[in-house]
Amino acid sequence: MPLPTRSAQPLVRTGALLLATALMTAGLTGCSALSPFNTCDDTAARLKDLRSQPILNSIPEGATTPEGLDSVDSRCIDDTGGTWLYAARVYAYPGSRRAVVDFYRATAMADGWHLQHDPSDQHTPETTAGLCFTKGGGGEALLLTVQFTTAGDLKFEYDYDAGPEFDSGSGFEIEVGSETDGARTGCFD
């Protein structure tokens, strides 16, 4: 007596579903040849806007730009994690980190920036962690950070040998950043 036979059609559908899932997974994990995400193409106007943000030139009295780092550094970074636009300045300051924090908190908030706090790290002082602000929306969202830096950091990040202006006081970097499309982004997302 012959064995009952089953239709092969459900097996074919199952196999096709598994193949489609495998191909989609490969595409989502970066195995595809072309990325469907934003790139640095056509970002010159947005970079120009970032460079012209007034906060980049608002500094506490006595702050100076180190020789060789006296202009705005602006770029589009395009890596496997996505793209990011930024404009940044480095300053040396003979005063305290507290004075830098107080200055930028007041100056940025007066210019419409909104101070954000890291919900997972409530105990690190701003004089260590720095500050992060957001502003705008609807394709015009910006992120502002104020971070403290040292001569060693400058050597590592910029291959820059800091002069005596970094021997005392506080060095800091201020950066305005944005997604390429101006989409809203948070400090601690």
* Long-range pairs for 159-164: beta carbons < 8 A, 24 or more residues apart: 160/66, 160/68, 160/69, 162/66, 162/92, 163/66, 163/67
Chain Cα centroid distance, residue 61: 27
CB 148 within 8 A of CB 130: yes
Which amino acid is located at 122 in the chain?
Q
What does the alpha-carbon distance between residue 154 and residue 162 come to, in Å, rounded to a whole number?
A: 7
DSSP-based three-state secondary structure for 156:
helix
Residue pointed to by tokens 């300053």: 91
Query: In this predicted model, which residue has the larger pLDDT, 80 or 71?
Result: 71
- Torsion over CA of 167, 173, 174 and 175, rounded to 10 degrees? 170
- The answer to whether residue 163 scores a pLDDT higher than 80 is no
Q: What is the pLDDT of residue 28?
A: 43
pTM, two decimals, is 0.76
Report, as an integer, the average pLDDT of 138-148: 93
What pLDDT is recorded for position 69? Answer: 86
**Which one has a higher pLDDT value, 15 or 152?**
152
How far, in Å, CA of 158 to CA of 70, rounded?
Answer: 13
Nearest to 98, CA basis, from 67, 71, 135, 130: 130
The confidence score (pLDDT) of residue 80 equals: 67
> For 18, which DSSP code?
H
165 pLDDT band, cuts 50/70/90, is confident
Pair of tokens at residue 87: 């404009």
Give the torsion sign (CA, 176, 179, 182, 188). Answer: negative
Query: Is residue 47 within 8 Å of residue 74, measured between CB atoms?
Result: yes
pLDDT of residue 19: 39
Which tokens belong to 100? 């830098």
CB atoms under 10 Å from CB of 99, counted, come to 18
Considering the chain, what percentage of its residues have pLDDT values greater than 70? Answer: 79
Per-residue pLDDT for 140 more than 70? Answer: yes
Please report the pLDDT score of residue 157 as a whole number: 85
